[in-house]
Structure 1
């Protein structure tokens, strides 16, 4: 079994297209197909259903995929560790963050690149489940996510922030002289919120239900940028994580205040897979996160 055959298989499974997979692997489509066939002969099972195009993975292919991803990831980590033993850590650092944690990327990225100037940082927004899958598949080096609500399994973590809720309204909506707002009044406003498929909204709904209240937003969206624009231009109100407070400070159109009684913060932090040995990039991320947490 050759590592390049595993790479062909994993790339096909991810892209679900033979020509695109061949292009990414830098080989011709016949070469990729021949490599896949050789891999199937090696394991004695058909891995990919195909006619003239990709149809899907077989049950054997689905079973093999996570192992193939881990083998390739381990080889990559081994190569990085060997290189790091002789030279400064370099290359691309892949970071995935839930939307609520995106405002924390700047401080972490500055600290990481400051300590390891040969690195470059690649950031992607993702759900907590996408972060867990990517960590397991060696598709990212670390994630920023909730540590107490639907956290990834088998990870090492460092808490970086204790999240509070922030109520946001448009200037002129009657909140100019307010320093905070209670939950009863907040849920009675014309709200635009994230949709229920997003983790922040599910946690928020649970908190409101625990207070014996119900919430019925007038509009929903899948990004904080959209929520802020709906507040600014359409007169809605919204509830967002306080990580966004520095981005709103000084904006003439925005009035924001904490929710009264929101005492129990939700921990957000850095996570890496709990592997032994820990790869150089994951180890670097943990060291940087611990320094940030101590500050």
Structure 2
């Protein structure tokens, strides 16, 4: 029965029988037959179908919510049974906002050193998508902005404060300058993240506070792309200081602390608060509360 619930969750996510079957590593007839058996077992119609998938029925959506919880509890049970002498193993599914990907490497290094049998799946996603995936039991944990985790079902543990720097090409700034106002940064042709991304919204708010309405020359959903644009002389960019290692670009780029206003936002570990949180997520949250990830050596 567990597998049939997995089929239903896959179909709800993929919205296509073929893709759902592929994600479950079964044939399409196997998936379709499994879903019909689930309908017969529950004596309800789960799926609106003609020649192709139309959507879930109202009962289907009700069963889907239970199915997600059943699968999460099943994975939690397996992980708990494997737990021996406080040694963690298995695969930890971690969602990370793009600006925290560099920090995520430090986070994983700490866990790997303590529990070398752990395996990791890292997904870069926006803050809203990350929160949604946690609530849908598609992730064990997330690293995101703590002030966007507006759900009573989630708990947050602060990890660090995200601060902001302006990146400019060395040829475009006077020697010895170490900081710059948001208003002066706006005088450069700017490359910024796309408007749908939370970090861009934070930058826009800072520019507005400085009395500036900006029109970026370049918009990208990749921080790495923005850094390379600056390296190639394409204006300036606003980057979280934790993302950028100046030592990797010392001959080309200068990182200037942004002031007037000085802006920082908390980034933390997000997890489900209460059941059915996974055995792995519970253990990592406990380590975070004990301060394992506080220093970044």
Provide the TM-score with structure 2 as the length reference. 0.90
- Say which SS state the counterpart of residue 195 (structure 2) adopts: coil
Aligned position for 2:146: 147
- Say which SS state the counterpart of residue 60 (structure 2) adopts: helix
Aligned position for 1:49: 48
For residues 218 and 144 of structure 1, do their structure 2 counterparts lie closer, same or farther at Cα, with a shift above 3 Å needed?
same
Contact 1:164 1:262 (C-alpha < 8 Å) held by counterparts: no
Q: What runs of 5+ residues in structure 1 fail to find an aligned partner? A: none
- Say which SS state the counterpart of residue 267 (structure 2) adopts: strand
Question: Separation in 1 of the partners of 2:293 and 2:113?
Answer: 16
Aligned position for 1:12: 11
Contact 2:190 2:236 (C-alpha < 8 Å) held by counterparts: yes
Question: Separation in 2 of the partners of 1:175 and 1:231?
Answer: 16
- Say which SS state the counterpart of residue 228 (structure 1) adopts: helix
Deviations 1:53-90, CA, capped at 9 Å, x for gaps:
32333344334323311221111112211221577321
> How far 1:93 sits from its partner (Å)?
1.1
Aligned position for 2:292: 292
> How far 1:110 sits from its partner (Å)?
0.8
Provide the TM-score with structure 1 as the length reference. 0.90
For residues 159 and 18 of structure 1, do their structure 2 counterparts lie closer, same or farther at Cα, with a shift above 3 Å needed?
same
- Say which SS state the counterpart of residue 226 (structure 1) adopts: helix
> How far 1:24 sits from its partner (Å)?
4.0
Aligned position for 1:255: 254
Question: Separation in 1 of the partners of 2:251 and 2:151?
Answer: 39
Q: What runs of 5+ residues in structure 2 fail to find an aligned partner? A: none
Q: Map 1:63-212; keep pairs closer than 5 Å.
A: 63-85=62-84, 88-149=87-148, 151=150, 153-212=152-211
Question: Separation in 1 of the partners of 2:102 and 2:83?
Answer: 30
Aligned position for 1:29: 28
Question: Separation in 1 of the partners of 2:235 and 2:292?
Answer: 35
Question: Separation in 1 of the partners of 2:293 and 2:278?
Answer: 21
> How far 1:281 sits from its partner (Å)?
0.6
Contact 2:8 2:35 (C-alpha < 8 Å) held by counterparts: yes
Contact 2:164 2:240 (C-alpha < 8 Å) held by counterparts: yes
Contact 2:161 2:267 (C-alpha < 8 Å) held by counterparts: yes
Contact 1:128 1:152 (C-alpha < 8 Å) held by counterparts: no
Task: Identify the range of structure 1 (153-162 vs 271-280) with the bigger mean alpha-carbon deviation.
Answer: 271-280
Please state if 1:229 is matched with 2:228: yes
- State the Cα RMSD in Å: 2.2
> How far 1:187 sits from its partner (Å)?
1.4
Question: Separation in 2 of the partners of 1:179 and 1:87?
Answer: 47
> How far 1:183 sits from its partner (Å)?
1.7
Question: Separation in 1 of the partners of 2:249 and 2:29?
Answer: 59
Task: Identify the range of structure 1 (283-292 vs 181-190) with the bigger mean alpha-carbon deviation.
Answer: 283-292
